[in-house]
Amino acid sequence: MWFYEAQRSGHLPSTNRVSWRGDSGLEDGNDNKVDLVGGYYDAGDYLKFTLPLSHSIVLMAWGGIEWFDGYQKANQVNYLRDTIRWGTDWLIKAHPSDNELYVQVGEGDVDNNYWGPDTNIPTPRPSYKITADAPGTDIAALTAAAFAASSYLFRNQLNDTNYADVLQSHAESLYNFAETATPFQLYTESVSASKEYYEATAYANQLVFGALWLYRATGNTHYRDKASSYFDQFKLSSTPITVMDWSDQTGAVYVLGTALDSSNTKYKDAAKKYLDAIALGKNGPCSFTNGGLLWCGDESDVNSLVPVQNTALLALLYDKITSGTDYTDFATGQIKYILGDNRMLTPYVCGVHMNSPHNPHHAGASGGSDINNIETSPTEEKYLLYGAIVGGPDKEDKFYDERNDWAQTEVALDYNAPFLGLIARQLSVDTSEDPPYVSITEPRPYVSRTTGLEKWLIAVIVIVIVFVLAGLGYFCWCKRRAIASWRASRKAVAV
């Protein structure tokens, strides 16, 4: 959880373990006369987004609830508490009234033109919100889920009833906001500044997800019934199968519903269909690389380890809920891949092995300040971003460890969130098996990039070829007509 400390914004506590980080973002929210100081920077930059933060908090809390003993065995309970609370304390600030939720701090175009330490973060840093007049069904419901899941954890595992009550109150208020602010719509319809960065695919799954977590946190069957009604209304059991990420929690809805609503089998049936399709490859959107990594088409082209971790987490949660082992081999195999059992002999966790990534795409950790020379200034990361999960290898299981290759070396809040639960689970089941990297003594093998044409250039070439062939076809057709006409005229003359 050290990585999350490296992502902290605001006034840092005396217990902060990241020596190269300092207080920052101390005027966040001033433009709207609200205190938005604190929280987490989203990735290797200095923007703050509510959507991926809420998604990450749900996954961290869920893993903590199900495998709390794993955190106890590793003496990480206090860090779990602090990590989640740093996020939820900020979400409380971001929800200053019943019908307001701040969803972004910082301007993407400004921030993305800066590469350097937290001492010179560029301004302005505008803050953006949804309201009753400019609603965002998806983000309000998902943030309600984050509050509710955290409330359950603080009440039942961390024994902090007072804080759990505060979180539950915000969860109920936000969920009511999600339902009553109409029309139902994606928050990016109201906040266009977020559209390029974090746009959800739908809002229906978040409405069900939020209601299920509120049922778990409160025990109020009203929320269970709401979840069931929305599940049916939006026909979630028959939606196309997609991999879970911050934009779509449908897979998580299936698994959580299996755990909480035994009055029917619709959640369980959908969960099994979903995991069979993705994890077992039964008529699903994913396959496996030659090295055994789950590969889900375009979803894996960038940050390939995100679909892997999210699916592995849902698989292990489902097996725990159903007391089964249908997907355990799949999940543990993917965990081993992440931890070094792969072509590159690389655990994709910074700082745990000599072959770990050395150049994550992270402005603060890089130690550089030249945005035009991210890769070479400096040649190797100045600071160790301990515990960060990087984007991951390509479809050929190759990893190049290049800082400017953000598709492979980017880090983000949502990359590490499922990883915490996966490792807690491994500790919980008390496996005596060491992670693969422990026995790796060889350096990472050198690999070169596969030379090939860019996809857009291939498309242009194909289009040109089609037009040329069509032109030749048309020319031949015209030529044949001319010859036929000439022959006909010759016959007429002969007659």
416 CB neighbour count, 10 Å cutoff:
23
At 246, which amino acid appears? W
- Let me know: does 358 contact 15? Beta carbons within 8 Å: no
φ/ψ of 44, rounded to 5, equals -90, 15
Two structure tokens written together for 214: 């509120």
Cα separation of 247 and 249, whole Å?
7
84 in Cβ contact with 61 (< 8 Å): yes
Catalytic annotation present for 401: yes
Q: Residue 145: what are its φ and ψ, rounded to 5°?
A: -60, -40
CB contact set of 460 (below 8 Å; sequence gap of 6+): none
Structure letter (DSSP) for residue 193: G
Please pick, among 138, 179, 410, 414, the residue that the annotation labels catalytic.
410
CA-wise closest residue to 360 among 332, 328, 382, 340? 382
Helical pair 221-233 and 250-260, crossing angle rounded to 10 deg? 140
Strand order in the sheet with 100-105: 48-49, 100-105, 127-131
Q: Which residue in the list 45, 261, 381, 394 is annotated as catalytic?
A: 45
Q: Are 24 and 35 in contact (CB under 8 A)?
A: no
The catalytically annotated residue of 111, 299, 381, 401 is 401
Nearest to 399 by CA among 293, 288, 245, 243: 293
Can you say how many angstroms the Cα of residue 440 is from the centroid of all Cα atoms in its chain? 29
Among the listed residues 55, 95, 170, 361, the single catalytic one is: 361
Terminal-to-terminal C-alpha distance of the chain: 96
E strand or H helix at 162: helix 161-180
* DSSP code, position 201: S
CB of 146 closer than 8 Å to CB of 174: no
Is 225 among the catalytic positions?
no
Q: Please identify every residue annotated as catalytic.
A: 45, 361, 401, 410
